[in-house]
Structure formats: structure tokens, C-alpha cells
Amino acid sequence: MSILALYITDINGQQLFEYPIADYCPTNKSIQVALRDCSPEDVILRLSTNELVFHKKQDALFFLVPCTATIPALVPLEFISHLIKVLHDYFQPPLTRQKIEKNFSTIMMLLNEMIEDGYPFVTEENALRDLVPYSDSISKYLKGATSSIKNLTSSTTSMQAISSADIGNPRSNVPWRRSNVKHNNNELYVDIHESLSVIIPALSPAQKMMNAIAADSNPSASAFYTVASTVPQVLPEPIVSIAHGSVYATTRLSGIPDIQIILSFGNRVLEGPAFHPCVRLARWRDHPGTLSFVPPDGKCCLLQYTISGVESGPIGGDLKIGLGASKDEFEVRIWSRVPKNVKFAENLRVELVYDGDRVQTIKGIRASSGEFNIEQKGTGIWRFPGKTPMGWSATLRGTMIVNEDLEPGEDGTVPQEFPKFIKISYDCMGMLVSGTKVESLKITSGKQGLMENAKPYKGVKYMTKGTDIVIRG
Amino acid sequence: MSDAKFFAKGKAAELRMELKSDKKDKNFARRKTTLKRIVANMTMNNNEMVQLFSDILECMHLNSLEIKKMCFLYLINYCRVKPDLANKALPILLADIKDQSPLIRALALRTMSCVPLATYTQAIVDPLHKLLGDSDPYVRKTAAFGVAKLWAADSRLAEKSGLIEGVNQLLVDDNPTVVSAGLAALTDITDKSEGMKLAIGYQDASKLIKILPDCNEWSQTFILNALMSYTPQDPAEALLMAERLSPRLAHSNAAVILGTIKVILYLTHYVSDDAAIDMLVRRFGPPLITLLSKPYEIQYVALRNCFLILQQYPHILQSNVKVFFCKYNDPIYVKVAKLEIIFLLASEENMPEILRELREYASEIDVQFVRKAVRAIGKLAIKIEGSARDCIDTLLDLVATRVSYIVQEATVVIKNIFRKYPNRYESIIAVLCRNLDSLDEPEAKAAMVWIIGQYAGRIENSDELLDDFLFSFKEEAVEVQLALLTATVKLFVQRPAKGQELVLQVLKWATEETDNPDLRDRGYMYWRLLSSASGNPEITREVVMSDRPAVTVESDRLDEKTLEEMTLNIGSLVSIYMRSANQIFKGSKSKHLEPSPALRKAYSYGPTEDQQMNVDASSLMEQGEDDDTAAAFAGPNAFAAHGDLLSDE
């Protein structure tokens, strides 16, 4: 079970970078031929009886990893994710053709460390920073560190220190932390992000009719005259509402600091928490909510969790169809709820999804605010640049024009088309939809590495990202 | 530092000048830059670079790790083209292997084992012996991999050298990374070897589990994989191991999670206490749900494996069926995988919400997915008798949309519902008959024809309906022709007066005017039956209208051996495609449970085994869905159907 090679290509399959591992490995050319015949369902491509190709598109690049067929599928898939993370860390996202070409030898050396004998080996950014210095690094704090390592690697005397640190020698006992970390400004930040995924079902036909009547008779609900308090009469309960949370620590602390973060999740149940290797699992088991760890230098994801049955978030919406005199209009409405320690949401956008084969265009679009554009076949996007205040609402009305060449049904007419779904997305700083909180944050030991009477700066930030709020029509 | 300008015009001569220049070169900065240009050109397959081999040999002596790294990359790349020059590098490498810096020792060793020349293979044996016992763990782990590479290059030499025993010693190393590297090397060798097999005893397994938390994530996946070679001899021992592995389920790497599930499932075969097994497998639920927040590719692999695990233990996620509900923006492969799990987890209790959800999918834009949703509703009617009425109502609701592909798909599944529940729900027939015009696919037509034939006695105008279909008999697909032939005979048997004329016509076509042997054979069979048994219509009726094998989605389950093989291969292609390993890979070692005093009888566990081993039988029946003769032919295809619950085949 091994990885045979790694190719990076552009969108058209043009090879930008190759890293052959096995003596005889499939070429990019043969992979491209196979890719051309594959359907989107082929997450894993069979190249021959004993060779598979795993592929992933990232930014404007394709990562192709041919492997022997017996490999556990998640190994190459996770490896590609890790590689992309490392490349982002070294060269900043988004990855481009230029960045790859500019950094051939660095990527080469990175892969030399990341893969050993055809199997992923070291993929922690911190360990790699020790092994493969990169002088173009933008972040100031790393610049100091990498140059010192360069000196180390060219003088042979202190190399012992590095080599034992980077592969987890029990003497250092912190395999994920770079050696000899020194910072002038000591800082510790905790960021908790929750991405919210909600499915709100369609109303029953009876409810739809009630809402349509109400919308047509209520002048305040028509476009251009929106009133903040207008929310629909009947709001269906979400069938799925899940928050996927990630707790990140960004530490720039000298020495080997030991940190403790206590989280409270209210009465919520954490489903399947997944931890960074630095977190002491026993401590969590005995004191649920307590993260105790020696962090890697820089940013890392300490904990990922899932909580189901959360609130549906600060932004709500609904979709009504069959409005207007000829019952052919639709109306999308979105609103932000009454503020709860939050002032605004950002990057709010609403996607309208409809049957692009049946709908020619949308006419008579009236939006009370924001901008609406049809971006691709079957998808229109309604954007709200800048900040969206709380306790606000907006509506969008329009009519879908059905393709003329569609065959009429039995009654001689072509049925009117409406949006099938709307999808809302936004970022909302300062709150977590599950109500998760950091109760305390302290550096319990290892302060001796810090400067005399240095007080590390500490900060906590919350953000809820509405990523997948789907409202069915 | 930018490499982009490096390939512009990297002429070999110019680069050589740069390398040889007498100018001052503080910290080798100039030569480093030049070497970077050479490596960049090499990567872009600029074959001109091969001319620089001797210049590179000179640089190899420089005492800089970065320069050595680049020179060695060059060596590995071009050694096959210039073996003579490559051999000149050998003394330099052998000297570096004795360097006081562990990084250089490791680098030189790794480079040597990557050069596929016999001289190198011979020369590496002694250094490997020494470096397996190096003081630095980084070097020891490199040596372990070096042995695996040597074995791949020359297995006889490697086995003779005693190096494999040396790697064995690494399994008791103090350093977890070295242990896992040793294990990786041994696994690599035993996987490819004909004669050798990895066997891990209790002490070793216990130690491996102990060091697991201290290893990096990839070493963990490797160790987990190797633990599959441990055969518990005692139920308590197996249970203890499984318990100790459970914390690995809370890892952020999906490969570790699935690897842990695989080992625990494997160990349960050796645990005697059913309640303990239940405790263990219940822990799989939350991490499996967490995997659904990963990138789609990972989700897909997780879902396919989840499906496999749930076949055996549906109760671990039965109350969470909602997490598998699809979002319209999921890619189709994720949607289909989720749909299969929803089907698997359906019960009378959660049926209302599942039906609402499937009804929703049936109004989506993607035709392929809509069809699968409709099919799933029909199959649920067959799977769960108590909910059949609700499923049928949902189907009728869908037929009312008059969308052609929905009506056709619904017709196909309704036929199966009639087979499962004969003489019930006949009121549906009228609804279907109103939509005959939208049928243009052979499968749907054949299904409708079957229904008309079966209920010819009760459908008032069955002869007219059949006559309509018969109008285009000669242009139809064979599948439809066969169905028409049988249906017409059924009409005749049930209503001789109305069917007489039609049956003569059809038998004439089938026996005289067709080139298809199946159709002709069946035509003759009916012909003889009708003419010889004319004196006794009861016998004819019994033969033509005989009971067919019951339709069910439950009776057929993955046979024990197959399911066993699937779960032993969780996470690999075998479990994703749900095909046996020897069907997928050429000459791979198939996995099976090693006998031991603790081994349970395979798959005797399962709280409600009969209801829960749901493997679809109806999809295989649909292949030759010619109800009256084909059931016996389903056998050889049985395997193909596993896991493709909702396949269109």
C-alpha cells in the first residue's frame, strides 16, 4: 500500500509539477486520459487493476495522487488535504500556477519529508518548518525563527537537537512543536468558528396558500416597502440544524508553554469531538470541556465538534411562490433577527436555485436592497455587500420565464417554474450559534521561557459562518 | 527566492560556468542558487541537465545540507542514464553515512536506497546493519525504510543479510516513530512476499496500542493496519484491546478514525460478550457523523463504509437518520450514498419523516437522483409492510405530477409492490392506466404490461390496453416483447373470449417472425401448453398464473464470508465498491479471520439479525425481470447487486 507519485496540474491537466516516488509510476498523461473518461462520481479512479488515482481540485489546481490499489482510501485523501494546508501555510492561499513554479525546489524538499517510502510521514506544519526552511515567508515571526534554523542546519554541531525534536524523541516529548521557539511579542489567541448547516423544509400546500394570500394582501410585504417586523405567518421548523465547530489556538509564545482552556457548551451534547494530538485526552475525559495542551507554534486546530439541534442562526429567510395577479411570481424574503450581542452580519448572499433547463430567464426583478444577478445556468445570486444590520429585512420578487421550446403538458400549458431552493450564507462575528463559550484561558506553566514580567496578550474571538442554510421551496 | 526565472534559459554550459566560477561564494549562496536552477530544470524534464553530472559530483563534497539535498535529488533522477558517473558518487555517500550529523547520515542512507543500481544495492547492506542501531531515532527510522526498499530491489539479498531480523528488533525500540517505521517496513515486505506473513502476538499488540497516542497520525494509521495481523487468543484479551483503542475514535484525521473502526470491528469477532460488543460499536456513531463535515471525497468514503457497518449494526445510528438527509448542493455521489443509508435505516417509526424527505428529493432537478428517490420509496413499501400504504400514497402523489421519468420510475416500483402484496392496492391500477402515454422506456413498459396481464381479469378494458401496446410489438425491446407475450397469454387464460384473437396474433409473431431465440422459445412453450392442455384450462391456468418467488428486500443477505471480508477491509477499495478483493485486485492476499480459541462463529451476533441484514434482492431480480422464467438466472449476478441498493440495472 503506497503512494506512487504526485502531480500538480492546472485546470486543463497541463502538468506543473511532478514528484515520482515508485520506480515505475503512472504518468500524468495516462492519468489525464483516464480522467477524461471518468464521471463526476468517480472520486477514486481505477487506472489499472493495481493502480488507483485520487484527485482533488484546489483553487485553480488539480492534485493527482496515483496509489497502489490496496491503500486505505482515506490515507491519500487526507494526505492531499494536509499537503494543501502545508502549501497554504508556506505560500499563502490561493495556490496558483505561478506560486508552484516559483517554489519548485521548496515543494520538492517538502515532499521529500512528507512522504517516506511511499507513505505519508511528517505533515505537521511545525515539524516541516524545522526541516524545510522557506525564506519568502510573509509572517514576521517565522522569519526570525527560520533564519536561526538555517544557521543550525549548516553547522553540524547542533543538528542533534533538531532531528530529535522533529520526529518525536521522548526527550523533547513535543513532536508537534518547533524547537527553540522565541518571540518578542508573546500572544495567545483562541478562535472558535461554527459553521451552520440547516435544512428548512417546504411548507405544506395549505400553508403555502395561506402565506401567499397574506403576502398579496399585505402591502408592507411588497418589495420596496419592507418593515422590519414582517415575518411570515407560518415558519416551518428546520429538519436539520447542525453546527460544526472548530477551536483554533494561535500561539506565539517562547519556550514550551502549557495552556489550559475551559469551554462550556451549555447543556449541549458534543457529537464525536476530534482532537489535535497535543490535547491531553485523559484531562478532557475527566473534566469535559477542558483542553490542556502544549501547542504547536503558530495556528492549529485543537478541537472539532458537532452539535445538532442548534438554533437556526441570526439570519432567516423564506420563499413564497405563486404570487401576483397571474400567480406566476415568487418572493424571497430574508431578515436578521433581533440583536443578541451582535451588531451585524457580513458577506450575506442568497443563492436562488432553479431548473436551468426549463427556465430561460427571470424578469421583473424587484429587490428592496442588494444586487441580484444570474451567475450561471440555474443559479441566481442576491448579494449584500458590506455589513447587514440586525433587525432588518429585504425582499426580492420576480417571475421566471419558461423556455419556449418546452413541450406543453396535457392541458396545453407549460407549468410555471419557481425557484427550487434558496441557500443563504453569511459570516457573523462575535457569536456562536450553539452558545459555546470560553470560560477561562490560562498559561499554566512554561512561563520561564517568556521574557521577565512579560504579560502575553490573550484574546478570544467567535464567529458563526452560515455556510449551508437551505430553504426548500 | 524565486525559482521562476530559473527555467527561463537554463543552458547547461551557463550553469556549469556558474558552478565553477572562482568568485567568492559566502555560505555557498551562489552555488545554492545555481543548483536550484538545475533542479527546477530537471523537474521540467530539461534533459540538457544530465551533462552536468560531473559538476554535481564536485558539489556533493560541500558541507551543506541544502546543497547535498539538491545534489542527491539530481543523482536519483539521472543515475539510470549515467550509471558510471552515479557509481562515482557512491564513496561520497558512504562517507556521509558516517557523518556525525544524523540528518546527513539519514539523507545519505535514504539517497542510497533510492538509487536502483546493483552496486548501490550491494553496498548498502553493511551500512544498514549499522544504522539500524544508530543512536539517533531519525536515522533508525530511515534505516527501517531502507531495508524495505532493499527487499523490493533484491529480496534474496535482503533475506540472506539478516536485515529483516534487524528491523524486527526495532519493534521494541523506545521511540514510537521508530517502532511504527519498523512496522511499516515489515508490512511492506510481508504484503509483497509470497512466503512471509506478519504475525503479532499479544505482548507486541499491547505495546503498539500503548505507544499509539505518541505517534503521529500517519504512524497511527500504519499501526492500526498492522494490528489486523494480531489474532486474539482469549475473549477478554480482545475486549481489552478494543477498549484501549476506543480513544482513537476522537482523532481529527479521518484515516485514523476509520482505521480504528476497522480494528475494533475485527476484534469483536473474538469477543464473547454481546453487551460489550454493543457498547463498542455504539461508539462508532458520533465519529461517523463528524466525518460528514469533511470534504466531499472523504464524506463519500465515510458514507460507503458507514453503509457497510450499518448493515451489521443499524441501531447505532437509527435515531440519527436525519444527519444523512441530502442538501441540494451535495454532489450526486454523496447524495446517492446518503440515500442508500436512509433506505437502510428506515423503520416504521421514522418512516413519516423519511417519506417526506424522499418526496422532496423526487422534486429535485437532477433526474438521476430523482429516479433513485422514487425507486427508494417503492422499495420501502416492500421492505416495511406497515408503511406500504403511505409509500404507495406518496408514489401516487408523484405519478400525479405527470413528469414522464417520474411516472416511469414509479410504474416500475409499483409492479414490484403488486408482486409483494398480490391482490391488494388494486385501486392504483386505474391511476397508472391514465398515464400509459408517458411510458417510453422498455423497463417501465414491461412493468406496465406485466400489471395489465396479471390483473387482466379485473381491468375492464385490459384487452384494449394490451392491443394498444401490441400495435408497436415488432419495434419494442425484447424485454417488452417477452412481457407482452406473457401478458397476452394471461389475458387469454383469464378471459378467453377477449384474448383469443390477440393471443393467436402474438404467438404467430413470436414463433414465426422473430429472430430472438428467447422470444421464440417462450412462444413455442406457450403454443404447446395452450394446444396440448386445451382440454384442461385449469392446468394451463395453474402454469401461467403460478405464484412467483416473493419479492423482498430482506431475504437475501450478504453471505457471511463476504460481509466478513468487507468489514476486514473497511476503508479500502473493497469496502467502497463492495466487491471482493480478488475481484478488484490481481493476486492480492485476501483477508479472513484467523482461527483462535476465542473466535466466535462468524456473524452469529446481531440483536435482530433477521430484520437487519438488509441486502437488496430486488435489484438483482430486476436484471432479468421477467418474472415468469428468470428467477433461476439471478444466481451468478448476485454479487454484482450487493451495495447497489438503488441501482438502475
B137 and A120 within 8 Å at the Cβ level: the answer is no
Give the CA distances from residue B211 to residues B206, B292, B597, in Å, rounded to whole numbers and listed in that order.
Answer: 9, 29, 27
Residue B234 makes CB contacts below 8 A (sequence gap 6+) with B597, B598
Give DSSP secondary structure letters for B311-370: HH-GGGTGGGGGGGPPPTTS-HHHHHHHHHHHHHH--TTTHHHHHHHHHHHTTSS-HHHH
B40 and A73 within 8 Å at the Cβ level: the answer is no
Whether B519 shows a pLDDT value over 80: the answer reads yes
Tell me the mean pLDDT in the region B520-533. Answer: 86
Residues paired with A393 in a beta bridge: A335
Whether B6 shows a pLDDT value over 60: the answer reads no
The per-residue pLDDT for B266 is 94
* Chain B residues touching A52 at Cβ < 8 A: 573
Termini Cα distance of chain A: 47
Q: Are strands A457-472 and A187-200 parallel, antiparallel or unpaired?
A: parallel
Question: Nearest Cβ partner of B572 from A70, A153, A353?
Answer: A70
* Chain A residues touching B6 at Cβ < 8 A: 104
Cα–Cα nearest to B621, from B610, B608, B634, B605: B634
In a domain, B489, yes or no: no
Higher per-residue confidence, B585 vs B376? B376
The per-residue pLDDT for A453 is 58
The per-residue pLDDT for A158 is 31
Confirm or reject contact between B565 and chain A (CB < 8 A).
Answer: no
Whether A169 shows a pLDDT value over 50: the answer reads no
Question: Nearest Cβ partner of B136 from A123, A160, A356?
Answer: A160
In a domain, B247, yes or no: no
- Cα(B474)–Cα(A47) distance, rounded to whole angstroms? 42
The per-residue pLDDT for B28 is 79
The per-residue pLDDT for B611 is 36
Q: Quote the ipTM score.
A: 0.81
Quick one: what percent of chain B has pLDDT higher than 90? Answer: 38
A214 pLDDT band (50/70/90 cuts)?
A: low
Chain B contact probe: residue of A6, A71, A117 with most B CBs at under 10 A:
A117
* Chain A residues touching B372 at Cβ < 8 A: none
Half-sphere exposure of B188 (CA within 13 A, CB side): 27
Least confident of A342-351, A444-453, B196-205: A444-453
The per-residue pLDDT for A217 is 59
B543 pLDDT band (50/70/90 cuts)?
A: confident
In a domain, B36, yes or no: yes
The per-residue pLDDT for B396 is 92
- Cα(B230)–Cα(B255) distance, rounded to whole angstroms? 20
Question: Nearest Cβ partner of B286 from A17, A123, A272?
Answer: A272
A410 pLDDT band (50/70/90 cuts)?
A: low
B145 and A117 within 8 Å at the Cβ level: the answer is yes
Give the CA distances from residue B382 to residues A259, B413, B414, in Å, rounded to whole numbers and listed in that order.
Answer: 57, 9, 10
Quick one: what percent of chain B has pLDDT higher than 70? Answer: 87
Question: Nearest Cβ partner of B325 from A52, A119, A239?
Answer: A239
In a domain, B68, yes or no: yes
CA A222, A224, A226: angle at the middle one, nearest 5? 65
Tell me the mean pLDDT in the region A110-132. Answer: 84
Question: Nearest Cβ partner of A272 from B1, B287, B360?
Answer: B287
Give the chain A residue nearest B115 (alpha carbons): A23
A123 and B217 within 8 Å at the Cβ level: the answer is yes
* Chain B residues touching A2 at Cβ < 8 A: 188
Q: Which helix (H) or strand (E) holds A166?
A: helix A159-166
In a domain, B6, yes or no: yes
B339 pLDDT band (50/70/90 cuts)?
A: very high
Whether B400 shows a pLDDT value over 70: the answer reads yes
Q: Show which of residues 581-600 on chain B sit within 8 Å of chain A, judged by CB atoms.
A: 584-586, 588
Q: How far is A78 from chain B (nearest CA, A)?
A: 7
Tell me the mean pLDDT in the region B291-301. Answer: 91
B148 and A17 within 8 Å at the Cβ level: the answer is no
Higher per-residue confidence, B30 vs A155? B30
The per-residue pLDDT for B628 is 44
Counting the structural domains of chain B, the total is: 1
A41 and B214 within 8 Å at the Cβ level: the answer is no
Whether B636 shows a pLDDT value over 50: the answer reads no
Whether A419 shows a pLDDT value over 50: the answer reads yes
Tell me the mean pLDDT in the region B292-296. Answer: 89
Half-sphere exposure of A150 (CA within 13 A, CB side): 13
B289 and A102 within 8 Å at the Cβ level: the answer is no
The answer to whether B616 and B553 have CB atoms below 8 angstroms apart is yes
* Chain A residues touching B582 at Cβ < 8 A: none
Half-sphere exposure of A308 (CA within 13 A, CB side): 17
Tell me the mean pLDDT in the region A177-201. Answer: 87
Q: Are strands A393-402 and A329-336 parallel, antiparallel or unpaired?
A: antiparallel
For chain B, the farthest-separated pair of C-alpha atoms sits apart, in whole angstroms, at: 114
* Chain A residues touching B293 at Cβ < 8 A: 195, 244, 304, 306
Confirm or reject contact between B329 and chain A (CB < 8 A).
Answer: yes
A166 pLDDT band (50/70/90 cuts)?
A: very low
B649 pLDDT band (50/70/90 cuts)?
A: very low
Quick one: what percent of chain A has pLDDT higher than 70? Answer: 81
What pTM, to 2 d.p., does this model score? 0.83
In a domain, B434, yes or no: no
Q: Which amino acid belongs to residue A450?
A: L
- In the numeric block, which cell numbers belong to residue A35? 480522467
Query: For A112-239, where are the E strands, in sequence order?
Result: 115-116, 119-120, 187-200
The pLDDT tens digits for A239-269 are: 889 999 999 999 888 888 899 999 998 888 8
- Cα(A45)–Cα(A303) distance, rounded to whole angstroms? 32
Give the CA distances from residue B578 to residues A434, B261, B571, in Å, rounded to whole numbers and listed in that order.
Answer: 38, 17, 11
In a domain, B75, yes or no: yes
Give DSSP secondary structure letters for A18-44: EEE-SSS---HHHHHHHHHT--TT-SE
Chain A contact probe: residue of B209, B320, B327, B435 with most A CBs at under 10 A:
B327
The answer to whether A202 and A473 have CB atoms below 8 angstroms apart is yes
In a domain, B74, yes or no: yes
Residue span of the structural domain in which B81 resides: 1-88
Whether B47 shows a pLDDT value over 90: the answer reads no
The per-residue pLDDT for B573 is 81
Q: Residue A262, SS3? A: strand
B480 pLDDT band (50/70/90 cuts)?
A: very high
The pLDDT tens digits for B435-467 are: 888 888 999 999 999 999 999 888 888 889 999
The pLDDT tens digits for A281-329 are: 889 989 999 999 999 888 889 999 999 888 888 899 989 888 888 888 9
Confirm or reject contact between B580 and chain A (CB < 8 A).
Answer: no
